[in-house]
């Protein structure tokens, strides 16, 4: 295929601005899908995505489109729009020459619009601004155009006006892709260099590797080499997504598709790697991508300990499909056998947890999530900490470092005051404010990541009545006065409730935490002391008084059905409880740490 007639592009947007709808509309207009399929939003095929309306996994589709009598191959690389999935955005963008920057005609430029636009600018893509949802009864088109100019530095006159839902302006989108996105470069007879920009596990076919050919040609039967590890394989099959998988004989420069090599383990295919010919390898590999960074960790434990193996199987299955999620067996005195899992962010964690509960049919107890910390020890060693329980004795720590995020808030100007207050409470460093028109502003802060992931999103939403958005990037680690706070229930330390916090907040949070726990843990036959402590020093205490009467005792002498009902109810309630010593601690208590801010 002549590269002159190929265009590779992505659609980048803030969540819900209509990326999937536009992608489907492009498929519909080009005849790749039917009206009925359009309605079913075929690009979001993971049911969980449809439930939450979030595109999680990047997808790619080849579309044939005839313009002025010439047939073009347009490769659309779908990117996820959420803050946790930055790395997937960056990998897919590097496989393109252009991007449609989609902005909602009412909501305007939002935090992830900015983040995604910058990512596209960084890799030198031609950016086509597209204002979507112009059919809405109320729009702010002029202001949105002004935002596109002031925040993103793009020419507002270049913007297209469309309704992805109603199919208005879609021909102009095709025309702009063909006229404004440069065709790919590359020679078909050069040594093969193909960029791996994604991979997916298929239970029948094994690992499917998604590639964009930069130089040369890849053919069925060819012996190829993954340059990073030096491993070689035969290409068993090769094809494109149209949108269903369709095999072809070869892919030439500029083309995008999948290859099957019989690899069974997703961990062997590295995104950002270069595929070359095993016999005539390219001299150099292509510049790689940034690796996905797991910054959030939490423990997942089966409520019923006999489900441990079932949980392990499900975690293994999930990680086959999502190499950015990790798990390791661990034990907790309080929770028994379980797994320590690493996620890209909170949303990623929620999605994994939901999938597990749904697909594995295992009831889970989850511990409060924490971020990764870095320790400089007195013996000169540095140590990464993914679990508060790994924090050594305070005496051996020279410096305790926490990850810092650079956070962009886009919000109505009425939200500026509350956010400044919030950021000050959360140890934020103010960087800048930029006004977008008269009513909205972009504020930038540096904040500890731990403060961002816990509840910043909810706090922002309530401070701005739902209109504020945020986006963050981890910029590094910084030393802070951090301590590990332990929780003791009836004198026993509950390891899964330990948390790392700033010393200045420890007393207040410790007090809130024990108060919360008091509410979550029900009365027992005896008194229960709940304490928060740093090292040996108790900083807060609450007491749950003993039950006065035995509830079942009341039924003695009579009504057996009532007694049975009561027992059944108690059993139900126990499902998500953990017996710790003599005390029963419900699932919710393990997340109290989050609400103790």
Q: Which of 8, 9, 17, 253 binds ligand GTP (CB under 6 A)?
A: 17
Helix 308-321 with 346-360: angle, nearest 10 deg:
120
CA nearest neighbour of 583 among 574, 592, 591: 574
Residue 53: CB minimum distance to ligand GTP, A: 5
- Enumerate residues 513-542 that contact ligand GTP by CB under 6 A: none
245 contacts ligand GTP (rule: CB under 6 A): no
**Contact track, ligand GTP, 310-329, x by CB under 6 A:** --------------------
Q: Figure out which of the listed residues 54, 128, 485, 521 binds ligand GTP, where binding follows CB under 6 A.
A: 54
Token pair, residue 141, equals: 């088109």
Question: In angstroms, how far is CA 335 from the centroid of its own chain?
Answer: 26
Is 522 flagged in the annotation as binding?
A: no
Q: Write down the least CB distance from residue 111 to ligand GTP, Å.
A: 13
> 67-96 mask for ligand GTP (x: CB under 6 A)?
--------------x---------------
Q: Least CB distance from residue 39 to ligand GTP, whole Å?
A: 10
Q: How far is the CB of 99 from ligand GTP (least distance, A)?
A: 14
User: Looking at beta carbons only, is 136 or 178 nearer to ligand GTP?
Assistant: 136
**Closest separation in Å from C-beta 402 to ligand GTP:** 30
Does the annotation flag 348 for ligand binding?
no
Sole window of 133-141, 331-339, 423-431, 562-570 interacting with ligand GTP (rule: CB under 6 A): 133-141
Whether 273 has a binding-site annotation, put simply, is: no
**40, 45, 51, 53: residue in contact with ligand GTP (rule CB under 6 A):** 53
Cβ neighbours of residue 74 under 8 Å, at least 6 residues apart?
6, 7, 8, 9, 26, 30, 62, 63, 64, 65, 174, 177, 178
Cβ–Cβ < 8 Å for 430, 408: no
Contact assessment for residue 75 and residue 6, using Cβ atoms and an 8 Å cutoff: yes
18 has binding-site annotation: yes
Q: 594, 454 in Cβ contact below 8 A?
A: yes
21 binds ligand GTP (CB under 6 A): yes
Q: Name, in order, each residue with C-beta under 8 angstroms of 112's C-beta and a sequence gap of 6 or more.
A: 13, 14, 15, 81, 82, 83, 469, 471
Query: Does 110 contact ligand GTP by CB under 6 A?
Result: no
User: What is the H or E stretch that residue 10 is in?
Assistant: strand 6-13
Nearer to ligand GTP, 164 or 419 (CB): 164
Stretch that binds ligand GTP, among 47-55, 321-329, 396-404, 417-425 (CB under 6 A): 47-55
Q: Which of 26, 120, 131, 164 is the binder for ligand GTP (CB under 6 A)? A: 164
Is-contact 292 209, C-beta < 8 A?
no
By CB under 6 A, residue 133 contacts ligand GTP: yes
CA triplet 83, 89, 90: central angle to 5 degrees?
A: 115
* Beta-carbon-side half-sphere exposure of residue 387 (alpha carbons within 13 Å): 18
Least distance CB 134 / ligand GTP (angstroms):
7
Q: Is 139 in the site for ligand GTP (CB under 6 A)?
A: no
* For residue 243, cis peptide bond before it (omega within 30 degrees of 0): yes
Nearest-5° Cα angle at 460, 454 to 461: 110
Rg (CA), the chain: 27
Q: Give backbone dihedrals phi and psi of 541, rounded to 5 degrees, phi first.
A: -150, 140
Q: How many CB atoms lie within 10 A of CB 569?
A: 10
CB 130 within 8 A of CB 118: no
163 binds ligand GTP (CB under 6 A): yes
Q: Which stretch binds ligand GTP (CB under 6 A): 48-56, 302-310, 313-321, 584-592?
A: 48-56
The residue within the footprint of ligand GTP, chosen from 3, 8, 10, 20 (CB under 6 A), is 20
- C-alpha 42/C-alpha 8 separation (Å) is 20
State yes or no: 135 annotated in a binding site: yes
Nearer to ligand GTP, 82 or 401 (CB): 82
Nearer to ligand GTP, 160 or 591 (CB): 160
d(CA 543, CA 549): 18
Q: Which is nearer to ligand GTP, 131 or 596 (CB)?
A: 131
* Site for ligand GTP contains 169 (CB under 6 A): no
Only segment of 160-168, 399-407, 470-478, 518-526 that touches ligand GTP (CB under 6 A): 160-168
Least Cβ distance, residue 136 to ligand GTP (angstroms): 5
What is the 3-class SS of 124-177, one letter each residue? CCEEEEEEECCCCCCCCHHHHHHHHHHHHCCCHHHCEECECCCCECHHHHHHHH
Nearer to ligand GTP, 21 or 512 (CB): 21
Residue entry with tokens 């295992």:
362
Among 165, 180, 457, 515, binds ligand GTP (CB under 6 A): 165
Rounded CA-CA distance 400/375 in Å is 5
CB nearer to ligand GTP: give 106 or 301: 106
> Which of 3, 132, 372, 592: binder of ligand GTP (CB under 6 A)?
132
**Interaction between residue 175 and ligand GTP (CB under 6 A):** no
Closest to ligand GTP by CB, 130 vs 192, is: 130
In angstroms, rounded to a whole number, what is the distance separating the alpha carbons of residues 116 and 93?
A: 9
Exposed/middle/buried for 420, CB within 10 Å: 0-12, 13-18, 19+?
middle
Give min distance, CB of 79 to ligand GTP, in A. 9
Residues of the shown chain interacting with ligand GTP in the complex, contacts defined by CB under 6 A: 13, 15-21, 53-55, 81, 132-133, 135-136, 163-165
List binding-site positions for GTP. Answer: 16-21, 132-135
List binding-site positions. Answer: 16-21, 132-135
């Amino acid at each position: 295929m002549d590269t002159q007639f190929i265009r590779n592009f992505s659609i980048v947007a803030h969540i819900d601005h209509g990326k999937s709808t536009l992608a489907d509309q492009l498929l519909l207009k080009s005849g790749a899908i039917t009206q009925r399929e359009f309605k079913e939003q075929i690009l979001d095929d993971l049911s969980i995505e449809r439930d939450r309306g979030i595109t999680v996994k990047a997808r790619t589709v080849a579309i044939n489109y005839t313009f002025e009598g010439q047939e073009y191959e347009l490769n659309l690389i779908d990117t996820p729009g959420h803050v946790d999935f930055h790395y997937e955005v960056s990998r897919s963008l590097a496989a393109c020459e252009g991007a449609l920057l989609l902005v909602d005609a009412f909501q305007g430029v939002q935090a992830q619009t900015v983040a995604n636009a910058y990512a596209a600018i960084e890799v030198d893509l031609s950016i086509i601004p597209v204002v979507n949802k112009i059919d809405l009864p109320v729009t702010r088109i002029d202001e949105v155009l002004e935002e596109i100019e002031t925040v993103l530095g793009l020419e507002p006159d270049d913007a297209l006006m469309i309704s992805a839902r109603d199919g208005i302006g879609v021909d102009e989108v095709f025309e702009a892709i063909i006229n404004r996105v440069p065709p790919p470069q590359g020679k078909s007879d050069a040594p093969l260099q193909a960029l791996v920009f994604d991979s997916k596990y298929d239970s029948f076919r094994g690992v499917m590797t998604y590639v964009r050919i930069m130089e040369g040609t890849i053919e069925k039967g060819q012996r190829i080499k993954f340059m990073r590890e030096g491993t070689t394989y035969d290409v068993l099959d090769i094809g494109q997504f149209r949108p269903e998988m369709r095999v072809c004989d070869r892919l030439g420069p500029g083309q995008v598709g999948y290859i099957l090599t019989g690899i069974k383990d997703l961990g062997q295919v590295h995104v950002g790697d270069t595929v070359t010919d095993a016999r005539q390898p390219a001299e150099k590999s292509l510049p790689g991508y940034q690796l996905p960074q797991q910054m959030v960790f939490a423990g997942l434990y089966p409520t019923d300990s006999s489900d441990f193996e079932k949980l392990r199987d499900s975690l293994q299955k999930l990680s086959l499909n999502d190499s950015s999620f990790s798990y390791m067996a661990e034990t907790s005195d309080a929770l028994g056998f379980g797994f320590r899992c690493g996620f890209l962010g909170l949303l990623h964690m929620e999605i994994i947890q939901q999938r597990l509960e749904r697909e594995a049919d295992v009831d889970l107890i989850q511990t409060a999530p924490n971020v990764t910390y870095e320790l400089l020890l007195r013996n000169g060693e540095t140590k990464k900490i993914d679990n508060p329980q790994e924090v050594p004795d305070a005496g051996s720590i020279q410096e305790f470092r926490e990850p810092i995020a650079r956070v962009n808030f886009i919000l109505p100007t009425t939200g500026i005051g509350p956010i400044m207050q919030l950021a000050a409470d959360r140890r934020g460093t103010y960087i800048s404010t930029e006004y977008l028109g008269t009513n909205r502003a972009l504020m930038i802060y540096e904040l500890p990541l731990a403060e961002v992931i816990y509840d910043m999103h909810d706090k922002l939403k309530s401070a701005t009545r739902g209109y504020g958005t945020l986006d963050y990037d981890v910029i590094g680690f910084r030393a802070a006065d951090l301590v590990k706070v332990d929780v003791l229930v009836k004198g026993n330390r509950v390891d899964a409730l330990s948390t790392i916090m700033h010393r200045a907040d420890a007393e207040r949070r410790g007090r809130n935490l024990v108060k919360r726990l008091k509410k979550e843990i029900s009365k027992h036959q005896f008194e229960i002391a709940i304490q928060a402590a740093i090292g040996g020093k108790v900083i807060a205490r609450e007491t749950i008084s003993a039950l006065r009467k035995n509830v079942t005792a009341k039924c003695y002498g009579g009504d057996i059905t009532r007694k049975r009902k009561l027992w059944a109810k108690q059993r139900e309630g126990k499902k998500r409880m953990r017996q710790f010593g003599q005390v029963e601690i419900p699932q919710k208590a393990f997340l109290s740490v989050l609400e103790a801010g």
